Amino acid sequence: MCIRDSFNAVCSISLEYDEENEKFDFERHHGRVPEEFREHADNLKKGAYEVDSTLNGSTMDDQEISYFVIPIQKKTDGEKTMYGVLQLVRGSDAPFKDDERDNIFKIARAVGTYLDGHYNRIKAQINQRKADTDVLTKTSARRKLEELMQREVVRAARYERDLSVLMLDIDHFKDINDAYGHLQGDSVLREIGTILNNNIREADKVGRYGGEEFIVMLPEIDYERACDVAEKLRQAVELYDFQNLKDEDSALKVTVSIGVASLEKDQGVKELI
């Protein structure tokens, strides 16, 4: 169904409503907006959801127009969630009739219901990703990391494939916190997370296991090759220029110690770690 064709409208516009900033985003629509509409959009934002916003005799590009604007929203248990507005514009000689308004209301309610389900799914996915990710380092959270490791251990054992794990610990991290403060210590953790993510394969997984401990999981990598990866990561951290750890006289070098283990027969995640 094409709304534009069904109502013989000159144009139809859907505007997105920015809930965080409590305003309509006029930059995302396609088409022109008469100045009068901006005032009505503000009224809709303030809660006048059921206002009949048909205005005849308005002008746009020096032409008289008739337009109908309606909120796209979802009502649940008396609460209203605003997703945007729908506007139909056509010549002033064809004002919108009552039956057309009723149909537009039905369309807006259907769209609101669809968007409500769509946004709820997106929010659920975002919340899940947040739970799976360590907020500070942007690596996998411990729970998610252990879940991934369990999956890889089962797969490696079933198909007799290599699987190695690196346990990385920041050397003298307490001294960094004591000398530069916990905010700078957090910055070091954040940057090391970035270093690790930037120096592993797509198939590898890195996660924060403890305060200053990280684990890197290396599927299809044997012990010897895992040692090479560990040395690569160790050097990457050692050579990295931590700008926030500089003073007038010197810059503190951050180093890490890395343990390497490869999966052996009848081992589980705990034994591997």
Contacts (Cβ under 8 Å, ≥6 apart) of 103:
6, 7
Closest CA to 174 of 191, 188, 159, 160: 188
Cα–Cα–Cα angle for 138, 143, 144, nearest 5°? 60
CA dihedral 149, 151, 153, 159 (to 10 degrees): -150
* Residues acting as catalytic residues: 212
Distance from C-alpha of 180 to C-alpha of 17, rounded to nearest angstrom: 43
**Exposure of 166 by Cβ count < 10 A (0-12 exposed, 13-18 middle, 19+ buried)?**
buried
Question: Residue 41 belongs to what H/E stretch?
Answer: helix 35-45
Rg (CA), the chain: 29
Please count the other Cβ atoms lying within 10 Å of the Cβ belonging to residue 264: 11
Please count the other Cβ atoms lying within 10 Å of the Cβ belonging to residue 124: 10
Please count the other Cβ atoms lying within 10 Å of the Cβ belonging to residue 157: 16
CB 57 within 8 A of CB 64: yes
Closest CA to 19 of 132, 125, 129, 123: 123
Which amino acid, 182?
A: H
